[in-house]
Chain A
C-alpha cells in the first residue's frame, strides 16, 4: 500500500502533508511530555522495529503487495501517539533510503497508515478489550480486529486518494495524469485484497503478538490497558455489556433507514425496470442516464434462482414496514451473533 511517486498529484500530496503535520506535532509533544528523555530512543528503536515488520510482506492477487504494516501491534504497545511517530519514521526511511513509497507521497502514506491506521487500531482495541484482564482471550480478539480494521481503513483512504485523481487531474484529451482508475475501479481493486489477505495478515500479527506477549511479557500490554481487571477478578468476556447495549440501541434505531428516499443505487429488482416510478428514481440516481427499457436478461435469470425469506427487509406477513424492518434487523444481527458464538465454541474445542 506504499504509494509511489507519480500516483498522486502534487496538490493531493501537499494537502496530505498539511493534514499530517498537526498529528506529527501533537504526537511529538505528547511523547516528549510523557517520556521526557526516553522519547528519542524509544521512538527510534520502535521505528526500526516497524520497518523490519513491514519487510515481512505477502504477495497479493492483482499485482499489489500486502504488508503487515504492524500498526495494530505498535499502537497497542506504544499507544496511538508513539505509534504515529514510529510508523511515520519507518515510512520516511523506506521512501528516502529504500525507494519503497514515493518522497512526494510520504505525507499521504503517513496519513493513511501511520496516523489513520494507528488511531483506528487503538480505538478499536480499547473499545473491544474494555476492562478485561491482561491475560484475557478478549484482548487477543480485540487486537486482531483492531489490526484488521486499521489496515482496511488505510487501504480505503489510499483507494479514495487514487480514485479522485482521474476526475480532478487529466489533460485536454481526457487522459488521466496520475493514478488512472476512477473510484469505481480503485475501490474494489484495493479493498478486495485488503479485506481478504492483507487484512488477515495484519489480524494474525496483531492478535498473535498480543497472545505471545500475554505469555512472555504481559508488562508491555499494561500501559494501554488502564482499567484492566486483575487476574481472576473478571471472566474475560463478562465486561462486554456496553457493547451489547450499543448493539441494542442500533437495532432499535434501524427503522431510520426507511427515511432515506429512493432505492440504493444498483440494488434494483427486475420488476423495477417496468415500474414508471422506480424507473424515474433510477434515472435520478444515475446522473440522468435512463435505465434500459427491460430488465437485463442475466438479472432476470439469476434473480429467479434464490428468493429471500424476507425480501426488501419486509416479511410478507407483516403490514407495518417499520416493524418489519426492525424484525429483519434483529433476525439478521441475531444470526450473525449466533454464527460468531458457534465459531467461538468450535474454536475453543479445537484448541483444547
Chain B
C-alpha cells in the first residue's frame, strides 16, 4: 500500500483512464457551451460556410510551402477565436499545449538529424530548423482551425453541414448517432472505472490489472451490442425502414456569402504566396 508506506502515490491505470475519459467529456462540454454563445462572431455564420471555409483553409495550410503564409493563417484563426469569444486560455490548454508536446517531441530531433548547412559551432542545420518549424506550425494552425469550427458550431449543425462535403447522408446519420452514444459510452466506462476504483484497496498485481482492463472492455462491448438492438427496435417502432432523411434548415444570408468569399480568398492567397 503506497499510502501507508509513505511512498510517492503513483496514479493507477484506473485513475489514468478515468482522467482520460473525463478529459474527453470536459472538452465536449466546453465546445457545447462555447458554440451556444450567441454573442460571438463565427457563431452567427452559416455552418455550411464555416465547414467549407475551414476545410479549404486547412488544405491551403497543408499545401503552402511558406512559413509566413502559414503563420498568417494562424494569426487569422487567433483573431477569429478572439472575435468569437473563445477563451484563449482554453484554446491553449486543450489545443496548443497537447499539439506542442506531441509534435514538438517529434519535430525536435529533425533539427539535428536533417542533413544540410550547419550553423557554425552548433549541431543544428538550417534545413532541419525549417523542417521542424513546418511540422509544428502546420499542425498547430490546422488544429486551431478545426477547433475553431467545433467551438463555434453546435455539433448537430456541424454534422448536417458536413453534407456540403458530399458525404453520403447515411454517413452523416451514423456520425450523428455515434456522437450521441459516445457520451453514454464514455459515462458508462467512467462509472465502471470509478466503482472499481472505490472498491479497490491496495495495489493490483499486473495480471489482475490486465484482466480488469479486458473485462471492462468486454462488458462495454456486450453493453454496446444490447444498446444497438434496443436503439434498432426503438427506431423501427418509430417507422425507420432503412432510408434516412435530414431536415435541412440552414438559410444563407448575405453576410454568409461575404464570409465564404473571405475564407476562400484567404485560402487562395495562402496557397499562392506559399506555392
Contact = CB atoms under 8 A, between A and B. Distances in A.
B211 A6 contact: no
Contacts of A52: 21, 182, 185-186, 189, 220
Contacts, number: 251
A220 B222 contact: yes
A102 B62 CA distance: 11
Given A42-B232, A44-B181, A97-B31, A49 B221 contact: yes
B58 interface: yes
Nearest to A25: B168
B264 interface: no
A93 B62 contact: no
B75 interface: no
Nearest to B116: A174
Interface string A70-90: 100100010000000100011
Contacts of A46: 224, 228
A45 B58 contact: no
Contacts of B174: 40, 43-44, 47, 85, 89
Interface string A139-154: 0000000000000000
Interface residues of B, number: 90
Contacts of B219: 212, 216
B272 interface: no
Interface in A124-169: 166
A92 interface: yes
A51 interface: yes
Q: Which of B126, B134, B147, B155 has the most CB of A within 10 A?
A: B134
Name A's interface SS.
helix
20 contacts: A4-B139, A6-B139, A37-B236, A44-B181, A46-B228, A49-B220, A63-B102, A77-B221, A89-B171, A102-B143, A103-B58, A103-B142, A104-B142, A166-B131, A173-B126, A175-B128, A175-B134, A178-B135, A181-B113, A204-B214
Interface of B: 17, 20-21, 24, 27-28, 31, 55, 58-59, 61-63, 65, 94-95, 98-99, 102-103, 105-107, 109-110, 113-117, 126-128, 130-132, 134-135, 137-139, 141-143, 146-147, 149-150, 155, 158, 168, 170-171, 173-175, 177-182, 184-186, 189, 210-211, 213-215, 217-222, 224-225, 227-229, 231-232, 235-236, 240-242, 244
